[in-house]
Chain A
């Protein structure tokens, strides 16, 4: 389609400068208008309301021009050119008259155009895939553009004669489109749609009282010409033809062409079309058509005044794909979306930043006040620091002194060990020497004791071993030295002497 890079759609910023020094669109530079072109005419500035939802419908069909203003579903006014309008200059003049009469305040404009500058060319594309079909169409357009210059185009799917993918290419030279823009832009008209006549005609056909899918032929009067379409109701188009003869003025000739179209549909599409609709001002051609097309054909007339096409075309949905400048609408929506998004982001960011600055500023005011107060108190703080340092030194010294005084006291281990040892000493044993002293180097109590025990060597040894085990398990945590002297035998002389063994115990304890 023409918005896919094959032509430059009307850029929103491309406009004829209203004052010196303004921006000049590319087309105005490259394709400088001649003195006779309409963009330099003294166009009266319209009063424009950008919030207005009104749309201006222009139906320019083969020398006839009908313009209407629509507000939603109401027609506010229509205007029709009394003189034939064939050139862009004539179109511009007529448009000025219409705008002055209709007092259109909006900007949204659509154009239904049929004329020499708008070609509808059927094409049959390969059936491989959609991509192949698109590539084929691109090739065709490239060739067309090479031969005749850049074009705006849009492809309308149709039914092919032999089960192939068929399209109806709507082609408009870009030079002609640029001329049209030069008419619209100074008048603040935003051209959003350019539709071929097939589109409103097909829409009209879908309203006929025939079953869905039923093929029908519609012949509509387009000024000095007649357009014939053959399509399925609510379905695709089969083909279209434009006859350069009016249905009203030359009904015989048009009837012949209608008959040929029926035969063509029968031959190429194997489609028997029995219903013929004549969309014309009067039903004058009915008899001729009935006569030429033979029996069995149902010929009906839909009386339609030319200006009614404005209303019909305005009912076509905006997103209708067969629009030469569909890309423009899409870009316009994107631009608006981006703009609104940027505005929202900008204001939100600003609000957030202001709130952040406000918060930081209030924090800073408090901090500044505090810093000033601290600076004022610097001398006082110095004195306070000195006082506290002295106080803390004193406290540490006092604590140190107290700790040393407390450490001077030793637990009564000596007396406790002596008492405990005496308590666990066997009845046949007695102590002769007991020494215990505090070793500051080892942080332990060292002890040594000697004594005597009655009995033989073996029993004395066992008794002493039992005593040692008992002491080791005591709460005093006694550990005996490894080189512990065993009990030794001592001979006691004299009558009735009792055998006694001397023993020696050495060790340390950690009770403190």
Chain B
């Protein structure tokens, strides 16, 4: 096997280095003759060895050393891309506006109830409104707000000749503008004489008593 390999190598050497017209050329002459063929392959080999043994390990080491920082940079980029830079200010303003639409406190609630009574009076109705305890009506388990519910009874004043039409108008205008709320229950009763009374339930978005505005 070894002999064959040596013979094959010798044959290859002779094949690659034979000089046309000078078959008995010496080793030096043959070596010079084979240079145009050998140089690129030798250079390729050297470059490959340099690439594998010098540059790639260096690249690997530098990359490994800086991997935590690179991951951190990627994380920062991802976090930054989640929201635009202007989102903070816009969100703060929108949140402030939204919070203003919620019932702030008991005083605010009383003011809204007064506004609702005034609205009813303006439509020829008398509103009897009672606020419930807001702690008992959380919007959800982890919700940042609670629902402030209001129960009420509407009776038309004696001079109201258009009870039903005014009731519809009243129901449309009952929730004060600028507050987030809605009628959750409505019961209308008409007796045989055509007298109408209504009972209703209203809920408002309200800040929890101990919640601070974000």
Interface of A toward B, CB cutoff 8 Å: 10-19, 22-23, 48, 50, 106-108, 185-186, 188-190, 332, 335-336, 339, 342-343, 346-347, 349-350, 353-354, 357, 361, 364, 368, 371-372, 374-375, 377-378, 381-382, 384-385, 388-389, 391-392, 394-395, 397-402, 404-412, 414-415, 418-419, 422, 430-438
Bound form: Cα–Cα A58–B124 in Å = 140
Binding site secondary structure of chain A: helix
Q: Which residues of B contact A346 (CB under 8 A)?
A: 37, 39-41, 44
**Could you say which interface size class chain B belongs to?**
35 or more
Residue of A nearest to B182 (CB): A410
Q: Which residues of B contact A343 (CB under 8 A)?
A: 36-37, 40
The residue that A433 contacts in the complex, of B41, B143, B172, B188, with Cβ under 8 A, is: B188
Q: Which residues of B contact A372 (CB under 8 A)?
A: 66
The residue that A408 contacts in the complex, of B94, B147, B200, with Cβ under 8 A, is: B147
Bound form: Cα–Cα A435–B189 in Å = 9
CB pair A339 B79 closer than 8 Å: no
Bound form: Cα–Cα A438–B203 in Å = 11
CB pair A436 B145 closer than 8 Å: no
CB pair B79 A392 closer than 8 Å: yes
Bound form: Cα–Cα A410–B182 in Å = 5
The residue that A335 contacts in the complex, of B15, B25, B79, B184, with Cβ under 8 A, is: B15
Residue of B nearest to A372 (CB): B66
B168 at the interface (CB under 8 A from A): yes
B157 at the interface (CB under 8 A from A): no
CB pair A405 B203 closer than 8 Å: no
Say which one of B83-91, B105-113, B114-122 lies at the interface with A: B83-91
Q: Which residues of B contact A381 (CB under 8 A)?
A: 69, 72-73, 76
CB pair B59 A385 closer than 8 Å: no
Bound form: Cα–Cα A16–B23 in Å = 9
Using A381-B73, A385-B75, A394-B214 as known contacts, say yes or no to A404 and B144 having CB atoms under 8 A apart: yes
Interface of B toward A, CB cutoff 8 Å: 10-11, 14-27, 36-37, 39-41, 43-44, 47-48, 51, 55, 59, 62-63, 65-66, 68-70, 72-73, 75-76, 79-80, 82-83, 87-88, 91-92, 94-95, 98-99, 101-102, 139-140, 143-145, 147, 164, 167-168, 171-172, 180-191, 200-201, 203-205, 214
Residue of A nearest to B95 (CB): A398
Q: Which residues of B contact A437 (CB under 8 A)?
A: 184-186, 201
Bound form: Cα–Cα A189–B22 in Å = 7
The residue that B47 contacts in the complex, of A18, A353, A391, with Cβ under 8 A, is: A353
Looking at the assembled complex, report how far the CB atom of A46 sits from the nearest CB atom of chain B, in whole angstroms.
Answer: 10
Q: Which residues of B contact A414 (CB under 8 A)?
A: 171, 183, 185-186, 200
Bound form: Cα–Cα A139–B76 in Å = 87
Residue of A nearest to B169 (CB): A415
Residue among B43, B65, B188 with most chain A CB within 10 A: B188
Residue of A nearest to B143 (CB): A404
CB pair A353 B190 closer than 8 Å: no
Q: Which residues of A contact B214 (CB under 8 A)?
A: 394, 397-398, 401
CB pair A402 B98 closer than 8 Å: yes
The residue that B185 contacts in the complex, of A19, A394, A436, with Cβ under 8 A, is: A436
CB pair B41 A368 closer than 8 Å: no
CB pair B24 A16 closer than 8 Å: yes
Bound form: Cα–Cα A107–B139 in Å = 106
CB pair B205 A408 closer than 8 Å: yes
CB pair A335 B18 closer than 8 Å: yes
CB pair B144 A388 closer than 8 Å: no
The residue that A401 contacts in the complex, of B98, B183, B203, B204, with Cβ under 8 A, is: B98
Using A343-B36, A378-B68, A392-B83 as known contacts, say yes or no to A433 and B189 having CB atoms under 8 A apart: yes
Residue of A nearest to B142 (CB): A400
Bound form: Cα–Cα A186–B201 in Å = 122
Bound form: Cα–Cα A364–B48 in Å = 16
Bound form: Cα–Cα A384–B69 in Å = 12
Q: Which residues of A contact B39 (CB under 8 A)?
A: 346
Bound form: Cα–Cα A108–B23 in Å = 12
Residue of B nearest to A415 (CB): B171
Q: Which residues of B contact A107 (CB under 8 A)?
A: 20-22
Residue of A nearest to B85 (CB): A391
CB pair B66 A436 closer than 8 Å: no
Q: Which residues of B contact A190 (CB under 8 A)?
A: 20-23
Bound form: Cα–Cα A378–B39 in Å = 46
Bound form: Cα–Cα A412–B17 in Å = 99
The residue that B184 contacts in the complex, of A332, A374, A418, A438, with Cβ under 8 A, is: A438
Residue among B22, B171, B181 with most chain A CB within 10 A: B22
